[in-house]
Chains A and B, each alone.
Chain A
Amino acid sequence: MLKITNLHASIDGKEILKGLNLEVKAGEIHAIMGPNGAGKSTLASVLAGREEYEITEGSVDFDGTDLLEMATEDRAREGLFLAFQYPVEIPGVSNVNFLRTALNEIREYRGESSISAKDFMALVKEKSAIVELDAKLASRSVNEGFSGGEKKRNEIFQMAMLDPKLAILDETDSGLDIDALRIVANGVNTLKSDKNATIVITHYQRLLDYIVPDFVHVLYDGRIVKSGPKELALELEEKGYDWIKAEFAH
């Protein structure tokens, strides 16, 4: 589904990703862990199409299309979803109104007819239940006045509404208490199928108790330096990142 080959990316002339390789297949959950500054959020940003980053080398193939050539919105329409580490508050723009516009633009892109108001509201009801998001919250201004936990639940609610092929969760566990974490993880697990894939970016192992990955990768200094089964996460939790740093520093 996703094949990242030798990806180099820099911002303001500083190289952050230095030859990253990663392959994700349908039905898989990948966890990307790593110390602060390793390039985890940069990877998420580059995949979502943030224009501040310059791609200097490498390629990203997303289900047969060249992801890096596409505008942010087209990536979303092709089925890529990024759950933001810091979801943005947008006063005055209602959550459901914008989601209906998004859904319809995605459908139009795919040559499908737009969703009826009735079907849309039924979908909102069904999907908001997955993350226990109050229907009132769903129709309020995007993230405005939401608590940290509500914002993250809103991200997963939107993910449920848009039904992406590949979801990237950027530090979705940050700022969550244990109950919110369980709800968010439960949402992600409910949405999982053998047709979609998930990349979980996290600093801590905690989230991986709830979203169990098929593969764990360690990102350090702009590259994936180690990959392994889910047990690797536990090893990292136990030993910290220093041994990685010691092994791979140059």
Chain B
Amino acid sequence: MQTIEKESAAGVNWQLKGSFLLNPELRQKALEVLDNTPFPTTKTEAWKYTRVAKIKNSNLSVQENPVPLTGNFGLSTDSIQYVFVNGHFSEHLSSKSYPEGLKILALSQMDEAEVRVLGGNVLLDGEVFSSINTAYATDGIYVHVSAKMQIEPIIEIIQINTEKNVLSNLRHVLVGEAFSEVQFIQRSISVNGSDNFTNVISEIHVGKNAKLTIDKLQEEHESCFQISTELVSQHQDSNFTINTFTLNGLLVRNNLTIEVDGQNCETHLNGAYILNGNQHVDNHTVVDHKVANCESNELYKGVIDGKATAVFNGKVYVRKDAQKINAFQSNANVLLSDDATINSKPELEIYADDVKCSHGSTTGQLDEEAVFYLRARGLSEASARQLMVGAFIEDVIQKIDNEPIVDRIHTILKERFNWVIE
């Protein structure tokens, strides 16, 4: 029998020159993984419905030097803004001052010794994209909120891509110490950029009794790729919320892993994906309840039109002895065309016996009887459909507390999909 040697990820035809920030030993380990691991295929369980060949076969290159860019890219006027352009920190687009109790720096601004200790928690074995990120990260943000500090302004992390075929590897570290409170917006946009690939990893630490919220808004150009990985560890009595809105991009994959490592935690994961054309969006989430007396809520909703495809894979683990866990998970989808596809797989793995868990997945089309009813009252067919789709998605949008984000989402829905949501 002939063995077919699989092409290792290291053999990819990308331009990967430049200076990279993370600890050299860690980078070395990542490069070894790339030497030994092929890109995932649809035979790889975690990538069953998402083909990354398009990314692999792109002529991507790392941008060695930052490009100049001017403009104002924040959503809020009173936020702290940290801007990255094609993987490089843009000092002149970013805020210069920030409140007491907050340490905020780009990795490229930090001492080598400080950077050396970062990044070691990310699993590399078998993980091509995490290894690429670790080996080739050009920048990222480091945020440290001191204990008991409540940070009033929102911190906006703005990831911009310009030009074409650029690979940006960003590595963020967000730390909320005990009893602190902080809110982030992580937003990815294209400014005259196309066919780019943003590969971003965020390590997030939510300390005892801390509250940390992330509103993640993905609106890169419809030719762009993004793989976004969040690794969250939650400690006792903490509260973590992440709202993921995917409104554009050709191929977007979100890997969200939350380890709930302390009792009395609250975890909220909400997401909406609204797709058209040939878009593909894949949300993989893992909530790992390791200890007792916690609650997690997950609500993801999708509206899929054209030939777009979406994947939802939500896993909830409840470990042995993690009693009194309330874990709820729901994924609902509306398919607006015959060619739209959703692969939805909610999963529960429960090893404790005194828990309250539920999961559910629904997929359907718009209720045509309702469309007719609205039209019979004088609404155009388009208005009737918009109103119904808007109503469907609006309850996820309502999970967001930040007005500027909500406004931005409504603007995109209007501009890109011609939906008006009241």
Contact = CB atoms under 8 A, between A and B. Distances in A.
B374 A158 contact: no
A90 B375 CA distance: 13
A5 interface: no
A77 to B, nearest CB: 5
Given A97-B422, A105-B383, A91 B391 contact: yes
A73 interface: yes
A122 to B, nearest CB: 19
Interface residues of chain B: helix, strand, loop or mixed (majority): helix
Given A90-B388, A91-B391, A93-B388, A105 B379 contact: yes
Contact of A76 (B378, B383, B387, B390): B378
A84 B373 contact: yes
Interface size class of B (residues with CB under 8 A): 20 to 34
Interface stretch (B77-85, B144-152, B193-201, B364-372): B364-372
A162 B394 contact: no
B137 to A, nearest CB: 42
Nearest to A141: B391
Q: Which 6 A-B pairs have the closest CB atoms?
A: A92-B391, A76-B378, A88-B373, A102-B378, A72-B375, A106-B378
A246 to B, nearest CB: 37
Contacts of B387: 93, 97-98, 101
Interface of A: 48-50, 71-73, 75-77, 81-82, 84, 87-94, 97-99, 101-103, 105-106, 109, 141-142, 158, 162
B374 A102 contact: yes
B43 interface: no
A142 B359 CA distance: 27
B117 interface: no
Nearest to B386: A101
13 contacts: A71-B375, A73-B375, A73-B376, A73-B381, A77-B378, A84-B376, A87-B373, A88-B369, A90-B374, A92-B390, A102-B374, A105-B383, A109-B378
A141 B388 CA distance: 11
B17 interface: no
B377 interface: yes
A92 B374 CA distance: 13
A91 B394 CA distance: 11
Contacts of A93: 370, 374, 387-388, 391
A105 B422 contact: no
Most B Cβ at <10 Å: residue of A73, A91, A158, A162: A73
Contacts of B392: 92
B395 interface: yes
Nearest to B388: A93
Contacts of B378: 73, 76-77, 102-103, 105-106, 109, 162
A225 B171 CA distance: 80
